[in-house]
Structure 1
Amino acid sequence: MNEVRLVIFTRYPEPGKAKTRLIPALGAEGAAALHRRLTKRTLAAAQESGLRIEMHVTGAPLASFAEWLGEDIRFVDQGEGDLGARLEAASSPTPVLFVGSDLPDLTAAHLIEAACHLNAGRTVIGPAEDGGYWALGLTGPAPYLFEDMPWSTDQVFGITVDRLKQHGIIPVLLPTLADCDTPEDLRLWPDLRALPIGGEAAWSGNGPRPRTG
């Protein structure tokens, strides 16, 4: 399982630049604090999985990330270009598993399941509730997945699967997860919204999130 590279994309939690779509609900400081908590949860799940972690980062020097998250992690600058260009730059060598850092429900078990499929030579994709994907695992080069993609829309998952099928690849579907990007998303995790700005989450992330309604 150690063959798989787990690549986590994140940015530095600078108020006003992190989780900007949540600022109307939480304020700049609150949105940045939530981003800090989610990134640490993601990293904890990754470390528990035993996979080889690379954090591809933006928004601050690499030394700032090491001070924040620990010096024992490999940090890589995301580089220039849109999300597609940055994903493609990070996609070699394979097998590689991409995940974001804003998934409150992510567990080590999700990552281990994906890695097992990758090590067996199977491409994987994790549908997100908003129509994108929360994970993408590749066993070989696939630049066609990153070019001319309408990122941040509800078309991303469908287009990605269609392009894989056009190249003779039927991906394994991972469980559907939701990311926390908008004020509406906060309704799914009322515990996150209720936390003080500087505090850590009371919910550990080890079980399913509390639901309302």
Structure 2
Amino acid sequence: MNERACVLVVAKAPVPGLAKTRLTPAATREQAAEVAAASLLDTLDAVLAVPRVRRVVAMTGDLDAAAQAPELRRMLRWFDVIPQRGDNFAERLVNAHHDVADLPVVQIGMDTPQVTPWLLGSAVVGTLAGDATLGLAEDGGWWALGLRDPVHAMALSDVPMSQPDTGRRTLDALHDRDLHVTPLPVLSDVDTVVDAARVAKLVPRSRFAAAVAAISTAGQPIP
């Protein structure tokens, strides 16, 4: 296959007690891990439907202890799986881009299960046409970063991650490298139960929606 780019998923094994901890106490640790696993599986499904790309997952955590471990292992057979490297999240992102640096890279996480193959394909096209693409998240972060030359991932080195201004500071860091950045649609990622319920309504027939529906608050499904 003539691969035009790499779609890189940066993921954490959905281990109970370590995954989606902000969904508790509304969800049990096991339910939160099931939501994380469903989100990752739905994301991987979308990536598999994007044509002519190398598919890579940069993984951290104990997959053997994860929710939906057998299904995740079956799905990951279709991906090149590499370990995450680095002492903090920004460093792990930079290294993941470096490790697949033979192609332009569109990097996403596992917190936007509503992502579609069309949207990922558009990110690939935009990345190939310019210098970079960036998809901001509603909480101030970002959900996707495309770089025609992955060496520019070094721009992330000095950007604090998981902050309300991470998206803006990432955009500034890319502009500081004189990169033309094409914006992608703003998406809501999944951090809280409210986020999860809102995103589940966007993809009602997904694994993610089913996992969210299993969470109960005071004996009642999440609205």
TM-score range, shorter chain: 0.7 to 0.9
Does the 8 Å CA contact 2:127/2:147 hold for their aligned counterparts?
Answer: yes
TM-aligned CA distance change 1:170 to 1:31, over 3 Å = same
By how many angstroms is 1:67 displaced?
2.6
Residue of structure 1 equivalent to 2:29? 28
CA distance in structure 2 between the aligned counterparts of 1:67 and 1:100, rounded to whole angstroms: 18
Q: TM-score with structure 2 length normalisation?
A: 0.80
- 1:64-87 deviation line (CA, Å, top 9, x unaligned): 686353423211111231111111
Counterpart position of 2:206 = none
Residue 102 in structure 1 maps to residue 111 in structure 2: yes
Q: 2-side partners of 1:11 and 1:189: how far apart?
A: 20
Match of 2:88 among 69, 82, 90: 82
User: Does 2:144 match 1:135?
Assistant: yes
SS in 2 for 1:56: strand
Task: Read off the aligned partner of 2:129 and give its amino acid letter.
Answer: A
What is the aligned partner in structure 2 of residue 204 from structure 1? Answer: none
Q: Deviations over 1:17-48 (max 9, x none)?
A: 11111122211000000011111100010001
Sort the Cα spacing of 1:190 and 1:124 in 2 relative to 1 into closer, same or farther, 3 A: closer
Gaps of 5+ in 2: 202-208, 216-222
Report the alpha carbon displacement of residue 185 of structure 1 after superposing the two structures with TM.
Answer: 1.2
Moved more, 97-106 or 142-151: 142-151
Contact 1:144–1:163 (CA under 8 A) maintained in structure 2: no
Contact 2:141–2:166, Cα closer than 8 Å, also in 1: yes
Residue 195 of structure 1 pairs with residue 213 of structure 2: yes
Size of the alignment, in residue pairs?
A: 197
CA distance change for structure 1 residues 190 and 110 in 2, over 3 Å: closer, same or farther?
A: closer
Q: How many Å apart are 1:190 and its aligned residue?
A: 5.5
- Counterpart position of 1:208: none
Q: What is the DSSP-based 3-state SS (H/G/I as helix, E as strand, rest coil) of the residue aligned with 2:25?
A: helix
CA–CA separation in structure 1 for the residues paired with 2:145 and 2:199: 24
Give the CA RMSD over aligned residues.
2.2
Structure with greater proportional helix content: 2
**One-letter code aligned to 1:196:** A
Q: Which runs of 5+ in 1 are unaligned?
A: 198-211
Query: How many angstroms apart in 2 are the aligned matches of 1:170 and 1:195?
Result: 41
Equivalence for 1:205: none
TM-score by length of 1: 0.84
Question: C-alpha displacement at 1:52, in angstroms?
Answer: 1.4
